[in-house]
Amino acid sequence: MPRVIEQLMRDSSATTTGLSERKNSNNPSKKDQKNVTKKTDAIYATPLQKMIDFQFDERVVAVFPDMIQRSVPGYGMIIANIGTLAAKYAQAASHCYDLGCSLGAVSLAMRQRINQPNCDIIAVDNSPAMIERGRELLARDAVPTVPVTMICADLQHVCIENASVVVLNFTLQFIPPAERLALMQRIYAGLKPGGILILSEKIAFNEPGRQNFHEELYHDFKRANGYSDLEISQKRSALEKVLIPETLACHQERLQKSGFSFSDLWFQCFSFASLVAIK
Minimal distance in Å, beta carbon 156 to ligand GEK?
6
CB 166 within 8 A of CB 259: no
Minimal distance in Å, beta carbon 67 to ligand GEK?
7
Quickly list DSSP for 39-103: ----TTSS--SS-------HHHHHHHHHHHHHHSTTHHHHHHHHHHHHHHH--TT-EEEEET-TT
What is the contact surface with ligand GEK in residues (CB under 6 A)? 56, 68, 100-102, 105-106, 124-127, 130, 154-156, 169-171, 174-175
Q: CA-CA distance, 6 to 92, in Å (whole number)? A: 27
Pick the closer one to ligand GEK by CB: 93 or 153.
Answer: 153
Minimal distance in Å, beta carbon 30 to ligand GEK?
28
Pick the closer one to ligand GEK by CB: 122 or 191.
Answer: 122
Pick the closer one to ligand GEK by CB: 174 or 267.
Answer: 174
Pick the closer one to ligand GEK by CB: 7 or 127.
Answer: 127
Q: Residue 8: which of 108, 88, 95 has the closest Cα?
A: 108
* 14 three-state secondary structure: coil
Q: Residue 201: which of 162, 168, 156 has the closest Cα?
A: 168
- The secondary structure element, H or E, covering residue 111 is helix 105-113
Minimal distance in Å, beta carbon 15 to ligand GEK?
17
Minimal distance in Å, beta carbon 38 to ligand GEK?
14
Pick the closer one to ligand GEK by CB: 71 or 258.
Answer: 71
CB 125 within 8 A of CB 100: yes
